[in-house]
Amino acid sequence: MSIKVGIMSFAHLHADSYAHCLKSHPNAELVGIADHDPARAQAKAQQFETKAFDSYESLLASEAQAVIVCSENVHHARLVQMAAAAGKHILCEKPLMTRLEDGRAMLAAAQGAGVYLFTAFPCRFSPAFQQMKRMLDADAIGELLALRGTNRGSNPGGWFNDPELAGGGAMIDHTVHVADLIRLLTGLEIEEVYAETGNNMFHGAFDDTAMLTMTLQNGVFATLDSSWSRPKTFPTWGDVTLAAVGTRGIIEMDMFAQYLVHYDDRAGRIKQVFWGDNIDYLMVDEFVRVVAGAERQTLATGEDGYKAAAVALAGYESVRRGEPLRL
């Protein structure tokens, strides 16, 4: 039996990838799309050969058993609460929320309705990261002393550059992935954040560069570059890297190091074409299986999404105060 899944909004760039994953999944059916932009809903429904619903309410009243929320960040809370009230299981794009109170309301709505709420953190499914975790768990480098992470990307443009819709700029967009990986890797919470941001790349009214220093429960510190520092002509969109420094060695993980070099005369640039595992598909696959009754193994919960987003929000408060902030 196929699990019937709808997509609420195609505002986020990742929605296309999730739709492709659903269309190619042997046990899933993309039953339809709803969007507050009706023209976009129609175009995407035609592209993915599915139904365009005229409202979120009509999609939620359909046979869909689950939904993937891919709206602008500020709308996550409203759409997740709507989906929970309709009894649908939910996979929500990151960051889970733009305000702490919204995140708490989302968690409460899912819990009250008895539905799953997961956060779209596909980096958890990376074989490179999972191997790094196995090595750290096996005490391969001794006592952990420090972590160094990057999620340096290109500026997506559009609503991502509108803090009212995105909840910030580069820091909220790119901090959450690595903050989640750090929590998963160490089993520890991030207790303190110090951040600095700038707009030196694009000079807009949003942060395009961000550096964070985080302190974990046991005193281990981590640094993170979560900037949109890659120019348009860069050969790939960006990176996710993580290094763990221990008393007996260092483990370094480069999540997207498996690529071909494509000399593209039509585009007038050189591209890096990734050929490794499709972590979006691995995440969507587990979401479909959990909705069908399987136990969760890797999916990030709503609570995981809340804690990762809270790190980015603490970073903005640290910038405003000019000092470290305890979570």
pLDDT digits (tens, 9 = 90+) for 207-243: 999 999 999 999 999 999 999 999 989 999 999 999 9
Which pLDDT band holds residue 105 (cuts at 50, 70, 90)? very high
**Mean pLDDT over each residue of the chain, to the nearest integer:** 97
Q: What's the alpha-carbon Rg for the chain, to the nearest Å?
A: 19
For 180-205, what is the mean pLDDT?
97
Task: Determine contact, residues 246/145, Cβ cutoff 8 Å.
Answer: yes
Contacts of 101 (CB under 8 A, 6+ apart): none
Does 326 score more than 90 pLDDT? Answer: yes
193-204 tens-digit pLDDT: 999 999 999 999
Q: How is the chain split into domains, by residue range? A: 3-119, 123-277+309-326
- 123-277+309-326 classified as CATH 3.30.360.10: yes
**Structure confidence at residue 311 (pLDDT):** 98
Amino acid at 170: A
- Asked whether the whole model's pTM tops 0.95, one would answer yes
Distance between first and last Cα of the chain: 44
Which pLDDT band holds residue 1 (cuts at 50, 70, 90)? confident
Q: How far is CA 18 from CA 14, 63, 306, 317, in A?
A: 6, 19, 21, 32
Amino acid at 252: E
**Structure confidence at residue 232 (pLDDT):** 87
For 158-185, what is the mean pLDDT?
98
Beta-carbon neighbour count of residue 275 at 10 Å?
Answer: 10
32-88 tens-digit pLDDT: 999 999 999 999 999 999 999 999 999 999 999 999 999 999 999 999 999 999 999
Burial 36-74 (b: 16+ CB within 10 A, else e): eeeebbeebbeebebbbbeebeebbebebbbbbbbbbbb
DSSP letter assigned to residue 275: -
For 175-180, what is the mean pLDDT?
98
Q: What percent of the chain has pLDDT over 90?
A: 99
Look at residues 257, 6, 247 and name the one whose alpha carbon lies nearest to residue 129.
257
Task: Determine contact, residues 94/69, Cβ cutoff 8 Å.
Answer: no
Q: How far is CA 139 from CA 71, 122, 245, 251, in A?
A: 41, 25, 12, 11
- CATH code of the domain occupying 3-119: 3.40.50.720
109-124 tens-digit pLDDT: 999 999 999 999 999 9
273-321 tens-digit pLDDT: 999 999 999 999 999 999 999 999 999 999 999 999 999 999 999 999 9
- Structure tokens, 58: 């009509």
